[in-house]
Amino acid sequence: PARRCRPSPGGGRAPRGPQPAAPPGGAGGADAAGSAGGYDGKCVFCRIARREEPGTALLSCEYEDLVCFRDIKPDAPHHYLVVPVEHMENCKTLKTEHIPIVKRMMEVGKAVLQKNNFSDLDDIRMGFHWPPFCSIAHLHLHVLAPASQLGFLSRLLYRINSYWFITVSVMQMCFAVGFRLQAENAVFF
Ligand SMILES: [Zn+2]
Ligand SMILES: [Zn+2]
């Protein structure tokens, strides 16, 4: 089963490559709606965070409320996901009070790169996929490196502050000026 976060109609097996026309009401939204925080047994990231997915090894992480693991289909030599243990919807619904956890997710992302001997923090890409351009509704930070080695399709998928990928710094700017994050805003930065 496809576990990667990818635009994928119906959330099933995701073919490689971007599919920006993911239908609304696909994989993500329905699951997230039923769980106000906590645990959603239908959510693969909730199961991974509770070590219920033996195929996915958790990497060391300095915070108990976050987990970190390798993307099952990496798009770069280093491709990690940082995920809150508690089910939290995607970045579109984040509010100012989530800034601390987003910052800690970034810290974990940088730390895991360094632990894996990648130290050029200018050559990394970190960010969030914008719903519905993501098949998994549980908040997760993509950590990719080296950014300079992303292939053409990956560059597209993780293009900085496109409609479908938003970096943490833009998210913080939006918070700082009190924007509720909207896809229309994201594209202007
Ligand atoms: Zn979840
Ligand atoms: Zn994603």
**Sequence-distant (≥ 6) Cβ neighbours of residue 33 within 8 angstroms:** none
**Sequence-distant (≥ 6) Cβ neighbours of residue 129 within 8 angstroms:** 5, 90, 91, 142, 164, 165
Whole-angstrom distance, CA of residue 121 vs CA of residue 4: 24
State mean pLDDT over 3-26: 45
Residues making up the chain, counted from first to last: 189
- Taking the centre of ligand 1 as the mean of its atom positions, its distance from the CA of residue 169, in whole angstroms, is 24
pLDDT per residue as tens digits for the range 137-178:
898 999 999 988 887 667 777 776 665 667 766 666 666 555
Whole-angstrom distance, CA of residue 65 vs CA of residue 18: 31
Whole-angstrom distance, CA of residue 61 vs CA of residue 108: 6
State mean pLDDT over 23-39: 48
Nearest ligand to the CA of 28 is 1
State mean pLDDT over 79-105: 85
Nearest ligand to the CA of 89 is 1
Whole-angstrom distance, CA of residue 153 vs CA of residue 182: 24
State mean pLDDT over 5-9: 50
- Taking the centre of ligand 1 as the mean of its atom positions, its distance from the CA of residue 125, in whole angstroms, is 23
Whole-angstrom distance, CA of residue 4 vs CA of residue 72: 6
Ordered domains of the chain (ranges, CATH) = 37-186 (3.30.428.10)
H-helix segments, 15-98: 27-33, 44-49
Which residues are marked as active site?
Answer: 140
State mean pLDDT over 44-51: 94
Among candidate residues 187, 136, 151, the one with its CA nearest the CA of residue 16: 151
Residues with CB under 5 A from ligand 1 (ion): 40, 43, 45-46, 87, 138
Q: Is 93 exposed, middle or buried (0-12, 13-18, 19+ CB in 10 A)?
A: middle
pLDDT attached to residue 168: 67
pLDDT attached to residue 147: 86
Nearest ligand to the CA of 143 is 2
pLDDT per residue as tens digits for the range 53-67:
999 999 999 999 999
- Taking the centre of ligand 2 as the mean of its atom positions, its distance from the CA of residue 89, in whole angstroms, is 12
- Taking the centre of ligand 1 as the mean of its atom positions, its distance from the CA of residue 30, in whole angstroms, is 12
Whole-angstrom distance, CA of residue 34 vs CA of residue 157: 28
pLDDT attached to residue 64: 95
pLDDT attached to residue 48: 96
- Taking the centre of ligand 1 as the mean of its atom positions, its distance from the CA of residue 81, in whole angstroms, is 13
pLDDT attached to residue 162: 66
Q: In this predicted structure, which of 7-21, 29-43, 110-124 has the lowest mean pLDDT?
A: 7-21
pLDDT attached to residue 99: 79
- For the four alpha carbons of 5, 187, 67 and 59, in that order, the dihedral sign comes to positive
- Taking the centre of ligand 1 as the mean of its atom positions, its distance from the CA of residue 150, in whole angstroms, is 28
Nearest ligand to the CA of 82 is 2
Beta-bridged to residue 78, according to DSSP, are: 145
pLDDT at 136 over 60: yes
Q: Which phi and psi (to 5°) does residue 114 adopt?
A: -65, -40
Strands 66-70 and 141-145: unpaired
State mean pLDDT over 82-105: 84
Q: Are 109 and 62 in contact (CB under 8 A)?
A: no
pLDDT at 94 over 80: no
